[in-house]
Amino acid sequence: MLRPKMILIDLDGTLVDSVPDLAYCVDEMMVRLGRPPRGAAAVRNWVGNGVERLVRRALIGKLDGEPPDADYALAYPLFLELYSENTSGRSMLYPGVREGLDYLRGAGYPLGCVTNKAAQFTLPLLKDLGVLDDFGIVVSGDTLPEKKPHPLPLLHTARHFGVDPAESLMIGDSVSDVKAARAAGFSIICTSYGYNHGQDIREAHPDGVIDSLAELKGLVAGAA
């Protein structure tokens, strides 16, 4: 049983399946630009590094590379407008999230949410899905000068709670979460679902892999 003193949880792909809203906004953006829509399957493979990167990937139709600056300058404000109006209407908590959060809170753990999503989208999404109040701190992609996979967001949250990174646990879904946790000195558990660009998260060698946050009850002991 793990006995951390603080637990941080990623948002997109770990707590929330946000692809339905993101895909709607990507496709609507593309149509308004006079281009063919990309579809949810493609968008699911592109998310996880913030909406700026998602827009760039949507424009070029692949994971790596850069669109022309003029295309991005047109597309990005359009996407922001669409996503501000469609942040949570189609998104949903993954099965087991509510049970997992209830267990961790009941066990006395300080909880933080650390995401690369901008605060203007993060806070409404957490609130609309009824989990904002579960977290003692929310660190978004634009809260600090760096975001995951840089360790700063995790270290910032550890300082907030006054906890040693070596006694801290990160729960995420992507190689970005694993890299951030390793760099910060955190333990890391990943979900088998979520957004990792089509790669099995086990290849990143997290400390453990779970199929549902409800499984945390069997992995994480009650807080000391």
Hey, which residues are catalytic here? 10
55: Cβ–Cβ under 8 A, 6 or more apart, which residues? Answer: 26, 29, 72, 75, 76, 79
Residue 76 vs residues 17, 51, 70, 132: alpha-carbon distances, Å: 22, 9, 10, 27
Q: Are 192 and 96 in contact (CB under 8 A)?
A: no
φ and ψ of 31, to 5 deg: -60, -45
- Three-class secondary structure of residue 141 per DSSP: coil
- Cβ-in-10-Å burial (0-12, 13-18, 19+) of 185 comes to middle
Residues 79, 133: Cα–Cα separation, whole Å: 28
98: Cβ–Cβ under 8 A, 6 or more apart, which residues? Answer: 131
Q: Are 112 and 161 in contact (CB under 8 A)?
A: yes
